[in-house]
Amino acid sequence: MQSTKRFIAPAALAFAVAWGVPAQAKPVAPEEFCRIYPKTALCASGAAPCTTCHTTPPARNAFGIQVESALSPGTPRPLSDGLFLSGLPAALRAAEPLDADGDGASNAEEFQAGTLHVDAASRPSRIGGCDAAESALAKAQPWNTCAYDPAYALTRIGLDFCGHSPTRGELEAVRGSNDWQSLLEQKLASCLDSAFWRGKRGVLWNLANAKILPEASLKSGEDAGDLAIADYDDDYNLFVYVNTGDRDARELLTAQYHVIRQADGTLVPIERTPAENYEAHDYDDDDAAQLVPQQRRAGMLTTRWFLAKNTMVTPIPRTTAAQAYRAYLGYDIAKMEGLQPVAGEPVDYDRKGVAAEQCAVCHSTLDPLSYPFTRYDGLGGGDEEEISDPATAINEDGSVNIAFGNYIAGRMDRFVRQEGPQIAETPEAGVLFGQPVANLVEWAEVAANSEPFARKLVLD
Ligand SMILES: [Ca+2]
Ligand SMILES: [Ca+2]
């Protein structure tokens, strides 16, 4: 049991914890596997999936059985952590020449080729390439499967980046040219400029859906829904803008400007104070205005919509932090991913019982991630002051005196009556990837410069 427990991947571990297995079980095996085989496709996201060795954990698949039988044979089970880890490399090596799925390719060959070692239908196309007769035959086919086929590449570029096949003329030009590489580059460049790629509801726009989580009924501004709380057009505009024009993608989390879409579809960054944003909207439509002061902005993480949709009326907005961690850094805490416990956490400022053993497993990471979000209001909550006359909302320094979607230094004080005095002790400083951050702007800076951010960007 002990040895199989060590082999459980993060998702499976979540079940284990839910069933009350002691929290010290750690998913070390997937990481150890990827330390040994860092380049295999199974390790593309950092740790191997549980299906590398298991069917449904703890049951092992054919490869898991091969590894297990070579793992410190003769040593009584269960193996201790130390014995398991020290025996694993040799056991994996011992299973390399074996063929778990019987498809004729060894486990090692499949790791190298990126095919599945436990699926006979997935096997390396052979090692070596085509011989002369095969090459000649392939060249005469519509698609050349023995060599790089520029016409096929052009078709893929057209379909994936332009939304349609290339014309016959374009295909012939590429087939007949020695300079096909620059023709492909030109085609790609023009596709990346097309409405299909960067326009409203284009490919990039849709790529942002999992980050923005739009809901038509809650939308304000253009195409407003029945229960309008905020507008997400600004979010999409910023996302598409940052991801085009050879811009620095880290500005997704560090931009302190907003982006508007002009009538002709051009995206233009604008530097406006909250007051200027507020005045740019009618009072009827003021829930579409961005109210966070410039120096408190952190790109997609502090837009009116992101805060309204995720934080709503929560004092400590864990949902907001979890969505930021998932959408931009690739770690889903609900699946026990990206856990980096902080000593002394969680403190349980809002008396939710998060310090209980089963909860602390996640909350010792999640709560310090969440504190920097606590000063950003979503939809009010607590004892907030209502502004009855919108005309009095604007302050001289360009800030706006409305709580919703705004940065409020003293926000936690509003919750004392409901949550108790300790809620006001909630710090604004937090911890991300083991690094202390004073506020959300620093959080976003650390995030944007991190390896997980770069990896998520590539995986997207
Ligand atoms: Ca095989
Ligand atoms: Ca296979």
* pLDDT, tens digit, 9 for 90 and up, residues 148-168: 899 999 999 999 999 999 999
Interval 202-221 mean pLDDT: 95
State the distance from the centre of ligand 2 to the C-alpha of 102, rounded, in angstroms.
8
Q: How far, in Å, are 103, 139, 150, 179 from residue 176 at the CA level?
A: 40, 13, 10, 9
Q: Which of the ligands is closest to the CA of residue 124?
A: 2
Average pLDDT score, the chain: 89
The CA R_g of the chain, rounded to the nearest whole Å, is 27
State the distance from the centre of ligand 1 to the C-alpha of 120, rounded, in angstroms.
6
Interval 229-252 mean pLDDT: 96
Q: What is the pLDDT of residue 126?
A: 61
Q: What is the pLDDT of residue 39?
A: 86
Rounded to the nearest 5 percent, the helix, strand and coil shares of the chain are 50, 5, 45
pLDDT above 60 for 8:
no
Lowest-confidence segment of 137-141, 262-266, 367-371 by average pLDDT? 137-141
Q: How far, in Å, are 160, 312, 436 from residue 298 at the CA level?
A: 31, 18, 17
State the distance from the centre of ligand 1 to the C-alpha of 105, rounded, in angstroms.
4
State the distance from the centre of ligand 2 to the C-alpha of 113, rounded, in angstroms.
10
Interval 403-428 mean pLDDT: 95
State the distance from the centre of ligand 2 to the C-alpha of 125, rounded, in angstroms.
11
**pLDDT tens for each residue of 100-146:** 999 889 999 899 888 999 999 998 876 456 777 888 888 888 888 88
State the distance from the centre of ligand 2 to the C-alpha of 98, rounded, in angstroms.
12
Q: Which residue has the tokens 């060599």?
A: 147
Report the C-alpha gap between 253 and 256 in whole angstroms: 9
State the distance from the centre of ligand 2 to the C-alpha of 155, rounded, in angstroms.
29
Report the C-alpha gap between 113 and 5 in whole angstroms: 29
pLDDT above 80 for 21:
no
How much of the chain exceeds pLDDT 70, in percent?
A: 92
Q: Which of the ligands is closest to the CA of residue 109?
A: 1
* 3-state SS assignment for residue 192: helix
State the distance from the centre of ligand 1 to the C-alpha of 62, rounded, in angstroms.
10
Q: What is the pLDDT of residue 7?
A: 39
Residue among 109, 453, 92, 441 at smallest CA distance from 292: 441
State the distance from the centre of ligand 2 to the C-alpha of 53, rounded, in angstroms.
14
State the distance from the centre of ligand 1 to the C-alpha of 101, rounded, in angstroms.
5
Lowest-confidence segment of 48-62, 177-191, 276-290 by average pLDDT? 276-290
**pLDDT tens for each residue of 45-85:** 878 888 999 988 788 999 999 999 999 988 888 888 888 88
Q: What is the pLDDT of residue 80?
A: 84
